[in-house]
Amino acid sequence: MFENENVVSVMRDLYVKTPKALKTLLADLCKRGYEIKDLRKDEHRHDRGATVKQMEENGWSLWYASLPDLRRGKCKSCGSLISVVGVHSHGHKCEVCGEVTYYDLVDGSTLTFVFNDDGERGFMSPQLRMKVRFWDVESGILYLYPEFLEGGLSVVTGERAEAYLKRNSNSWRYGSVGDGKVIAIDYSFQWNRATAKIEPYDSYGHYWNCSIVKVWEGKEYSEFDRLPIPESMSIFEAWHWSPLPATPHLHERILSAAGQVSDKGYYYQDGRQAFYPGQWQEMAKFVRHFTVLDGDRFDAAWPRFRNSGPGGIDDLAHFCHSNPVVENRPNIGNALVAAGKLIEGQPLTEDEKREAVRGAKTDEGIDFIRGLLGKKR
């Protein structure tokens, strides 16, 4: 919508080629209702110790444009549009009709948690998943059904759960709600790690009586709808650094512009697709307008690139430079994925095997293995 010969959109962000074009663009954005933030004056720049010159030469975004006050809560009881502030906090009430818009925990919700005891905490420490009976917010007590639910890798049941519960007997007590026996735990609405008996990991089964909508130019959109114009965008002053030369790291800038990670270790190692035509096309725009590379040649080349994460990065990197430097950090995720596939009886590629071994040798991988064996560092 805002593109022309001097303004190029890449992943909905805008790259401006001249100071004159920037002045015109900012004026147009203001007319469309955008709020403009000058990132040269941003306090985070000072916190990071970056100079304006570094921001300009390193290709950081220098402006941020956003449409203000789009989101509203919509009460399902009366249909009114209300403030989103606190609309998804436990017991919040609609400011129009007074009906509750949200309960975080109700009878039947499930809660996964650990006891807030440093002696029990650590990587792969046991977690309990239990069903909620009632949360007495006024008294700050959470009542749970005395049964253990199955869950993820760290969630324990049976004898292990009983043992974990017993070890933390000073943090809970038996009680009753109605005719049922329950476990009672002090659990305040204003949670504080320093005083809380438990620390929640996740919960399911919330009560929703509202939704989030976006309102733009008098029309209502769902929370995840795209508006006719971008809700926000970063703006880059490309004349400070463009065109980029063909260096061993050029592929990193191209991938970053398309919102992609340039570390091969970040991706799955079994050849599955990570890059799609739309992403290559966004990279192609960046290549054509902001690098010394031949845009026509890149347009012809990228359809033949591999679409896996590692393969696509390698192909792009070698297109950009004859001797590229490609990042490939060991990642525990590759070890976990390989372990899961082995458990399920699925074969591993040679790349998966190699990267699984490297991932297992990281500090995180060693901690994970020690956690499985019940050992500490």
| Residues 248, 229: Cα–Cα separation, whole Å | 36
pLDDT at 178: 82
Tokens encoding 190: 């204003």
Q: Strand order of the sheet with strand 63-66?
A: 7-10, 13-16, 232-237, 63-66, 35-38
Residue 347 CA: distances (Å) to CA of 308, 343, 351: 18, 10, 12
pLDDT at 369: 74
Q: How many helices (H) and strands (E) does the chain have?
A: 11, 18
pLDDT at 376: 56
pLDDT at 274: 97
Residue 33 CA: distances (Å) to CA of 7, 23, 212, 218: 19, 16, 21, 13
Tokens encoding 237: 């002053």
Do 299 and 277 touch, CB atoms closer than 8 A?
no
pLDDT at 233: 96
**Which backbone phi and psi does 115 adopt, to 5 degrees?**
-75, 140
Q: What is the pLDDT of residues 13-22, one digit of tens each?
A: 999 999 999 9
Q: Which residue has the tokens 């190692």?
A: 269
CB environment 15-42: b (16+ within 10 A), e (fewer): bbbeeebbebbbeebeeeebeebebeee
pLDDT at 371: 65
Closest CA to 309 of 346, 351, 347, 338: 351
pLDDT at 166: 93
| Residues 156, 172: Cα–Cα separation, whole Å | 18
| pTM for this prediction | 0.76
Q: Which residues of the chain have pLDDT under 70?
A: 118-124, 371-377
Tokens encoding 242: 């463009």
